[in-house]
Structure formats: C-alpha cells, structure tokens
Chain A
Amino acid sequence: MIAELGHLLAFLALATAAAQSYLGLTTGGEAPRRLAVATGMFLVLSMLTLVISFVRLDFSVALVAKNSHSLKPIIYRIAGAWGNHEGSMLLWCVIMAGYGAAAALWMRNDRLRDRALGVQGLLTLGSLTYLLFASSPFTRLADPPLDGGGMNPLLQDPAVALHPPFLYMGYVGMSFVFSLAAAGLINGTIDRDWAKRVRPWALTAWSSLTVGIALGSIWAYYELGWGGWWFWDPVENASFMPWLVGAALVHSLIVTEKRGGMAAWTVFLAVLSFCLALLGTFLVRSGVMTSVHAFATDPTRGLVLLAGLGVAGGAALALFAWRAPKLASGPEFDPVSREGALVLNNLFLSVGAALVLLGTVTPMVVQWLGEIKVIPPESASLSIGEPYFQLTLAPMIAVLLLFLPLAQAAPWRKADLSPLLKWLTPAMGLALAGALVAMALGGWGIWLGFGVLVGLWVVVGVGFDLWRRVGPAGIGRVFRLPLTVWGMAIAHIGVGVFVIGATVESAARVERTFPLSNGQSAEMAGWTFEFQGVHSEEGPNYYATQADIKVTHGGTTEMIHPEKRFYPVADTSTTEVAIRKTLGGDVYVALGDTIRDEPGVWRIRIAHHPMIDWVFGGASLIAVGGFISLVARLRRRAPAPAESPAIDPTAEAPATPGVGATA
C-alpha cells in the first residue's frame, strides 16, 4: 500500500506544480504560494514512503528488491533510498520543490517571488514528469524475490550516505537561483533589491555544493584505497564546473547588490550555474561515461536530460538576450577598486570553468565524432587527465589568489593601491619566509614553494585585513566585526589552507607497495610496519580478510588492521584502509592481494599523505564561510510581519510587505 501512496503523492505534486507554475506566472498572489508549499509537502511525504519501503525491506517494490538486502545495516537501508537512479531522481524533485516551498514561506510577497515560484513550478513539473514516466521508483513486482540484490558495497559508507543530499542541495539549489533570474528577466528588473534577495539562495546552494563535493572527495580518499582525493575524473569535473561558476556568482552578486553593477553578467551566471548543474547530471547519468554514479547506462535517460538542458537553458538564454540590453549598467568604477577586483575574480573563475569544460567534454566529443565516422573510430578515443588540468588551472588559480588579499581590502569605486600594498608588505614577507621553509623541508621543489607562497599569502593577507578592520581599538574588537566580514574571511582563509594542503600533499606524498610475508617489515617516513599475517573476520553483510600489522614509531607501538572485504550479495570486494592521523599528516595502509605462486606474500601499500587534513579542512572552511555569510544575510532581514510582530531594533527598516514592491 505504502508504495502506491508514495506514487499517488508524487502525482498530486505533479498537479500542484502545474497549477503553481500557471498561477505563479499569471495572477500571482496567495495561490501559487500555497501550491508551492503543497508541492513540497507532497514530495517530502512521497520520499518518506520510499524510505519506509527501504527500511521495511518491502521486496515487492522493484527498486527495493534491486538495491536493498536484508543483511544491510539500517543506515544504508535508509541511504539506499537515494543510492540508485530512481530514488535519487525523487530526491532531486523533493529538494527542488523544497526550495520552492522555502521561498514561498520566507520570501517577501511580490511579483519576483510569484514568478520565481512559477518558473520553479515548471522545473519541478519537468523533473516530476521524467520521474513518474521514465524512472518511477514505485514500480511493484508481481513476483517479489525473497531477498534483494544489495547495494554497491563501495557506497555503503557514511560519507556517501550524506554526499547525495548535500550535492543535490547544491545542484538543485541552483535551480531556484535560475528561477529567480528568469523571474527577474520576465519582470525586466535586475536591480540591487533583486541581487539582495537572490544572494541567500545562491549562498545556500553554493555552500551545500561545497560540502557535497568535499564529502565525495573524503570518501574517495579512504574508500578507494588509492589515497587520492581528486582524480580529475569527469564525474568530479561535472560538479566542479557549477562550483566555479557558483563561486563567481556569489561574488558578482555582491557587486550587483552593493553597487547595482554587473547586473546582466550576474543574471547570466545565475542561468549558467544551473545549466552546468544540468550538464553535470547529464554527463554523470546518461552513460556517456562510466562511474559509480552511472547506476545503469540508459541512452534514453541521457537524451531526456539533454532535452531538458536544451529547453531550460535555451529558454533562459533567449529571455536573457531579449532583456539584457535593457538592463541598467551600474555606476562607473576605476579598474583598481573592489568592483575591479571582483570583475577580475569573475573572469578568472569563469575562464577556469571553461578550461575544465574543455578538458571534460573533448574526449566525449571526439568519441562521438568517431562513432558518426567523421574521424576514424580507432583514433577517436583519448583521455585528458590530471596533467592537463594541473597545467591549465594551477596558473589561473595562483594569479587569482595573488590578487585576493588586495581585493578583500580594496574599497568600492576607486582604491589607492600604495597604502594597501604597504599594509600588506609584511604579509608577503611572512608568506615568502614560510614558502622558503617549506621548500627547505620538502626538497626545493619550485611548485611546492610557489603553492605554499600563494596559500600563505592568502591566509596571512586575510589575517592582516581583519587586523586593519579592527583598527587601533584593540584585539577585543575582532569579535565585534560584522558576520559578513567573518564569513568572507573564513571562506578566503579556507581557500588558502586548501591550497597549502593540496600543494604539500601532492608534492611530498610518499607511496610504495611492499610485498610482505609473515614477519617481514617495511619502513617509511620513520615508521616501521611489521606484517604479522592475516585473519578472517565476519561483518553483517560481508567477509573480511584483516591484516595484522605492528606499527612502530618513535618508541610507541600499535596494531593496525587494514582489510579487504568481500560482499557475497554483490559479488564484489572493497578495500578498507587503516589510517593513523598524526600532526604532520596521515599514515595510510592498504591491504592488497596475495602474490601469485607465492602463498603468504601480500602486497601492502603504505603511503604518507602530509597535511591531508588541510585539504579537507580548507574545503570545510570554505563551506563554513559560505554558511556564515548566509546567516549574516538572514539576520539582517526584517522578521516576517505576520509571524513575529515584535520589532527588532537592530534590524534594518522592514521592507513594506505587499504587491509590486519592485514595480
């Protein structure tokens, strides 16, 4: 019964989304608001029924039978609801409608909200149609199996259980930014008020995307057993492109909000970020490439996604082309100013995104050209990997970051460089000294030095800027700086921390594979690893071969147990590495396979990943900074008049509620 209820709820949402889009784009007012809330509620409940089916192991539901198993732990039964194509599409719809409902509840009532709800309704309608008619998660089986097919064991992991919801909060969050852009273009007003109201949504989406990408990266680091955290795989690039454009957007929105400038460009970025999110979904789901995300390759799914991308992107760009010439360009500014710096930021980030796009789609385009015989098929297969992305992106990011502390300190309209430079000279000195130390410790690698220099320059420069903002009043005032400044500073420090971590980790990483038999030892980076054989363990739904390795380091000794797991239901093995955290980085031990013809000899892979926590820590700081900026924005807003009549004396004058505030 419960699956039918979920199916019915999704159909109800289809109806309310249709009504929401029609009324939102025409009459507006209270009706589309209520309908948006209803669409969101129906879909949340629908998702809940699917989760219940997964938890109760209702194998008469085809999706549960295919993706769950009675031996699977409860948390992965829940996560299993979105760990497959159909369930994740439902999650997509839930989050899309959820953004609509949130906007209906919290946004000021005017034409921008109505029309944004209307466009959001259209997007939800499209997604739901695809869900219900091309990939329904509620299909029943006439002849239910006794047990399910299980879930890809690689995905049975806490980080991956949370990765899709956050990633979708980001990807799909861009849909509401897109809707606001389309609504603004329909209204013909892209002004400071528009930017002010778009910013919280853009910040929510972009910060969530940051968390989602970081979770995926952490998972790859410890679960795949290679110790890498970014492979420049098309799947990763698919999420990195909207992230870069989203980063450009949250910066250009500042110019539009504070100065009324860059309006057309900001709207363009808002449209583009959702188009790239759709492109990413297409690349990942259509089967044009293979990964753990391509749950099953189905060309028709790819075509539907591509058509959706074409329709949404094409319509929005047409709208843009029609309205953009009429948009006001903001007040003039000097190249050396905060506006100028933010323009530069946007140029670098969007050119960076274009380079990632080029490297990601070229192999696919070439392969397609081979398939349609434009070029000989045997020469139509190539791969573009890490060297390309490092060569092209590293210089871009480095130059961008050299400007960052200056940009953060520059005033609007026109900046005088010389006092800024004077103020920041000690920061550059500190960064140079730090880089020299790093080079001395790390063997004088030029890239190592340069990366550390850039990262430290950002961290120290941002610190100096905070100090300057505090002024001579004393260090105690640092906590009274506005939240917006903290959000910006923390995110920027996160960028610096990330760059330092990423450079040091990739320059000074040591990894080696040792063939070891019982009693043999290996040494690396001052650690001794004595292999003492393997033994068997049994988990809830897997069998494990665990190695016993005695680790000695500086007089302390402990046992570590890297293991290989075999999941009989899915007939696959996974690697569970043993990681020991130290101040300087991770010691990372993975158990390989036995060496053929030599029983008892195992390949053990030992690696040292220096400063790896700075990589993930930096990414987390970026997300935290984004969320702090969001909170700062929400706190500044007037309380909704209906719910809380009390007047907050610290809030800015509340905007007049009512229709036509932007008209």
Chain B
Amino acid sequence: MRKRSQRLWLIGAAAALTTGAVALAVMGLQDTVAFFQSPSDIAAKGVANLKQSIRVGGLVEKGSETHGSDGALLFKITDGVNTVPVVYHDIPPDLFEEGKGVVAEGKFDETGRLVAKRVLAKHDENYMPKETYDALKRAAESGGDKNYGKEPTT
C-alpha cells in the first residue's frame, strides 16, 4: 500500500509538471515564433500583425545602405523583385555587405519599415542562409533576377 501511494504521488507530480510545461510551451510557441518571409511574400500578403516577429531574408540591395540622423543603419533587403526597408539601431555583423545575403528579424512599424532586433549576415564567403537562397530562387522563378547566387552548400 505504501509502495502504491509512493508511485501515485510520483505520477501525480510528473503529470502536473508535464501539464505545466506543455502549457508554457504552447504559450511560448504562439507568441514568440518568428516566421520567415521573403520581400515578395510581404509585398503579396502585407503585414497582418505588427506585434508578430518576422524574419526577412534576401540580399542587401546595392546602394541602399544609408543612415538615419541618430546613426541608425538603414538598408533594403531585396529578392530581386521586391524590397523591404530595414532600420537597425546597432552595429551590423562583420560580414554585412551590400549585395550579400542577409536575414533580419524584427517587427514592422506603421510606415512599413522592419525594425530589426537582429541582423544576421553570411558566415563565410560561400555561405548564404538557406532560407535566403530559397526566397531568391522563388522570386527568380516568378520572373525576377535569374542570377540569385550559388547553392547554399559549398
């Protein structure tokens, strides 16, 4: 009988904890997941929810890099068809460069700019984020720039 009650509270504790964890995970996944979109996806569908984090990938458009009066970095992400303006209040990664692959994560403001919290650039000279490559490829297939770069794997 003692043995059984021991097992019972063990199972009870495990069940309670697992339920709590599942609830937390569901909450966490609902609010915090950032979906990847290409500039063309955004041009086609618009931005439904300004509170939702979005990852936008493509190339840093040539000649688009400027800065705001407060020194913020401004640039555009292009997939060869459409572009998305981005503002970033931090130093871009070492490998950030015009014409090279980039992924920016953040939320859109009312003016349609992506306020990036994180900007990721390619990791080495050969690498392009896979999602960037796919986005460029899709844009090119729908009539954009055919020269979308190399395969992401070396």
CB <8 Å contact, A383 and B34: yes
The residues of B that contact A554 with a CB separation of less than 8 Å are none
Kindly state the separation between the CA atoms of A514 and B24 in the bound complex, as whole angstroms.
Answer: 38
B95 at the A interface (CB under 8 A): yes
B6-38: which residues lie under 8 A (CB-CB) from chain A? 6, 9-10, 13-14, 17-18, 20-21, 24-25, 27-29, 31-36, 38
With A333-B6, A513-B89, A515-B71 given, is the CB distance from A292 to B28 under 8 Å? no
Kindly state the separation between the CA atoms of A206 and B154 in the bound complex, as whole angstroms.
Answer: 35
B92 at the A interface (CB under 8 A): yes
Interface string of B30-74 (1 = CB under 8 A from A): 011111101001000000000001010000000001110011110
Kindly state the separation between the CA atoms of A590 and B17 in the bound complex, as whole angstroms.
Answer: 43
Kindly state the separation between the CA atoms of A183 and B70 in the bound complex, as whole angstroms.
Answer: 65
Instruction: Give the distance to chain A from B127, nearest Cβ to Cβ, in Å.
Output: 6
With A382-B33, A513-B89 given, is the CB distance from A595 to B123 under 8 Å? no
A88-114: which residues lie under 8 A (CB-CB) from chain B? none
With A381-B35, A382-B34, A392-B21 given, is the CB distance from A359 to B94 under 8 Å? no
B129 at the A interface (CB under 8 A): yes
Interface string of A315-340 (1 = CB under 8 A from B): 00000000000000000110100000
With A297-B154, A388-B29, A392-B21 given, is the CB distance from A513 to B6 under 8 Å? no
A251 at the B interface (CB under 8 A): no
CB <8 Å contact, A385 and B32: yes
CB <8 Å contact, A392 and B17: no
CB <8 Å contact, B153 and A297: yes
Kindly state the separation between the CA atoms of A392 and B10 in the bound complex, as whole angstroms.
Answer: 22
Interface string of A388-404 (1 = CB under 8 A from B): 11011001100000000
CB <8 Å contact, A378 and B71: no
The residues of B that contact A291 with a CB separation of less than 8 Å are 123
Interface string of B103-129 (1 = CB under 8 A from A): 001000000000000000001110101
- Closest B-chain residue to A598, C-beta based? B67
The residues of B that contact A392 with a CB separation of less than 8 Å are 21, 24-25, 28
Contact partner, B21, options A354, A382, A571, Cβ 8 Å: A354
CB <8 Å contact, B91 and A391: no
Kindly state the separation between the CA atoms of A389 and B29 in the bound complex, as whole angstroms.
Answer: 10
Instruction: Give the distance to chain B from A69, nearest Cβ to Cβ, in Å.
Output: 16
CB <8 Å contact, B124 and A152: yes
The residues of B that contact A596 with a CB separation of less than 8 Å are 65-67
CB <8 Å contact, A391 and B32: yes
Kindly state the separation between the CA atoms of A575 and B59 in the bound complex, as whole angstroms.
Answer: 23
Instruction: Give the distance to chain B from A576, nearest Cβ to Cβ, in Å.
Output: 11
Interface string of A282-325 (1 = CB under 8 A from B): 00000100111000111100000000000000000000000000
User: Which interface class (under 10, 10 to 19, 20 to 34, 35 or more) fits A?
Assistant: 35 or more
Contact partner, A296, options B25, B27, B154, Cβ 8 Å: B154
Contact partner, B129, options A287, A290, A332, A574, Cβ 8 Å: A290
Kindly state the separation between the CA atoms of A379 and B44 in the bound complex, as whole angstroms.
Answer: 14
- Closest A-chain residue to B31, C-beta based? A387
Instruction: Give the distance to chain A from B70, nearest Cβ to Cβ, in Å.
Output: 8
A461-492: which residues lie under 8 A (CB-CB) from chain B? none
Instruction: Give the distance to chain A from B46, nearest Cβ to Cβ, in Å.
Output: 15
The residues of B that contact A389 with a CB separation of less than 8 Å are 28
Kindly state the separation between the CA atoms of A391 and B28 in the bound complex, as whole angstroms.
Answer: 6
The residues of A that contact B138 with a CB separation of less than 8 Å are 378
- Closest B-chain residue to A515, C-beta based? B71
Q: Which of B13, B20, B25, B154 has the most CB of A within 10 A?
A: B25
CB <8 Å contact, B13 and A343: yes
B150 at the A interface (CB under 8 A): no
Instruction: Give the distance to chain B from A159, nearest Cβ to Cβ, in Å.
Output: 18
The residues of B that contact A375 with a CB separation of less than 8 Å are none
Closest 3 CB pairs of A and B: A515-B71, A381-B36, A592-B91
Which A residues lie at the B interface, using CB under 8 A?
Answer: 152, 225, 287, 290-292, 296-299, 332-333, 335, 343-344, 347-348, 351, 354-355, 358-359, 362, 377-379, 381-385, 387-389, 391-392, 395-396, 511, 513-515, 564, 571-575, 590, 592-593, 595-598, 603, 605
Report 7 cross-chain contacts, Cβ distance below 8 Å, ordered by A residue. Answer: A290-B129, A335-B6, A355-B21, A385-B32, A392-B21, A596-B65, A596-B66
